[in-house]
Amino acid sequence: MKRLAGLLAVTALLSACSTTSANTQTTPPLVLATTTTVVATTTSAPLLNPASGEKAIMCDSKAVSALYGEKVKLEKCTSNWAFGDTDRDSWNCPDTGCTHTRLFHLENNTWVNTASCQRTLPLTRYAMSCYIPNVGAATLAQLPPSDVACLIWPANTFLKYTAETGCTPSKTDIVAQMNGACTGYYNAVEFPVEKCDQGRAVRLMQERLKKAGYNTNVDGYFGPSMAKAVYDFQGTAKLQQTGMIDQATWLALEPNQSSLPGTDTNADGVVGPNELK
């Protein structure tokens, strides 16, 4: 799948945090016209444990720290699961944050760290992204139910992964994804064309957005401002608002596909990113 070719299987020798620093560009937060918040839900996620019906609650880091035996900083919680880092993790992580974050589970009135997982991947990919500290690769037994994963693990609601996780991202999730800074850019070679992509496909769509009156740079780099422009365009065109350019958005931005510099090699009526010249 897209951008996974460079990932290596996680082993027990991995530490919970990366020590590599990265420079990120600060971008003013984007604000959408609507303030409606939808709670993340799940339809089905066969790659994880069955849904439990747990609800998101306010994290009580102090109480969990007391039971766990070490100071923790939790980000999202349910009554039996939590997601966050220990103080030790935070000290060892770069300013951009830890690359791996811990899952905590309440077992016999004690909070235990069941696994540490790569933050940027959904828990459905635990076999390549999660490990048990000082033991080895994580298994399904160390992971939360599918609905809990939707509530507490951010990557499970990333729009590019929702087809496999079964999660429905809230508008808050979408805004957070559009606001995030890019630490690198990748050539856009398939749908969806999304934030942190670059290349000919991005520039062509920037030109269409600009022509339609939306505020975006025309530089070939898909940053937060372009994501906001795409989101607004999708709203006007009555398309699903994701801030990513799927095939429907691509066609709406350029109905005359023959005007694009490329060839519809598979005869599907679309000159896609991989067919541009």
pLDDT tens-digit series, residues 233-255: 999 999 989 999 999 999 999 99
Give the tens place of pLDDT for each residue, 96-131.
778 999 999 999 999 999 999 999 999 999 999 999
**Does the predicted TM-score (pTM) go above 0.85?**
no
Average pLDDT over residues 11-37: 39
User: What is the domain count for the chain?
Assistant: 2
Lowest-confidence pick of 33-42, 140-149, 222-231: 33-42
Residue 51 has pLDDT above 70, yes or no: yes
What does each C-alpha distance from 90 to 94, 116, 215 come to in angstroms? 8, 14, 37
Average pLDDT over residues 153-157: 93
Residues 152 and 229 grouped into a single domain: no
Residue 18 has pLDDT above 70, yes or no: no
Highest mean pLDDT of the ranges 29-38, 39-48, 254-263: 254-263
* Residue where a domain stops, chosen among 152, 169, 186: 169
* Residue where a domain stops, chosen among 103, 136, 169: 169
124 in any annotated domain: yes
Residues 193 and 252 grouped into a single domain: yes
5 in any annotated domain: no
Residues 50 and 160 grouped into a single domain: yes
Contact between residue 135 and residue 145 where contact means Cβ atoms under 8 Å apart: no
Residue the block writes with tokens 């000082």? 134
Phi-psi region of 123 (alpha: psi -120 to 50; beta: other; left: phi over 0): alpha
Residues 240 and 147 grouped into a single domain: no
Average pLDDT over residues 216-231: 96
Q: Which residue range forms the structural domain that includes residue 205?
A: 177-275
Residues 189 and 165 grouped into a single domain: no
More confident: 17 or 254: 254
* Residue where a domain stops, chosen among 169, 202, 218: 169
CATH of the domain at 196: 1.10.101.10
19 in any annotated domain: no
Residues 95 and 186 grouped into a single domain: no
Of 165, 129, 160, the C-alpha closest to 147 is 165
